[in-house]
A = this chain, B = another copy of it.
Amino acid sequence: MDERQALTAFGALSQETRLRLLRLLVVAGPEGIAAGSLAGQVEVSPSNVSFHLKELERSGLVTARRDARSIVYSAEYDALSGLIRFLMEDCCSGRPEICAPALAAPCCQPGEGARR
């Protein structure tokens, strides 16, 4: 993840509708969710959802694929990992004073391979 990508990704995450869309896609996993279904779930007009999905796609945080007449979006896990890592390493220079407290998150605990 280079700086240009990170800047775009941060911009993509700084908008409420997009953050909600991304969260839905993260939980949905690799199988993804169709654009129309997303529009229904976030209660935003289809054209507006399309606009924000395109922004997310431009940032590399989600990818799109066609499935029959639907276009299915899914979260790009690698990009999200990369962004977290960018935030810790490039932006925060790996400062333990910053990174260590963040690692107290439940998902980072040993023996907690999966979320709870």
- Decide if B91 touches A77 in the complex (CB within 8 Å): no
Complex alpha-carbon distance, A22 and B113, angstroms: 32
- Decide if B105 touches A92 in the complex (CB within 8 Å): no
Contacts of A101 in B (CB 8 A): 77-78, 81, 85
Chain A residues with a Cβ closer than 8 Å to the other chain, count:
49
Query: Which residues A63-111 have CB closer than 8 A to chain B?
Result: 77-78, 80-85, 87-108
Q: A10-B13, A19-B3 are in contact. Are A106 and B89 (CB under 8 A)?
A: yes
Contacts of A78 in B (CB 8 A): 101
A26 an interface residue at 8 Å Cβ cutoff? yes
- Decide if B88 touches A102 in the complex (CB within 8 Å): yes
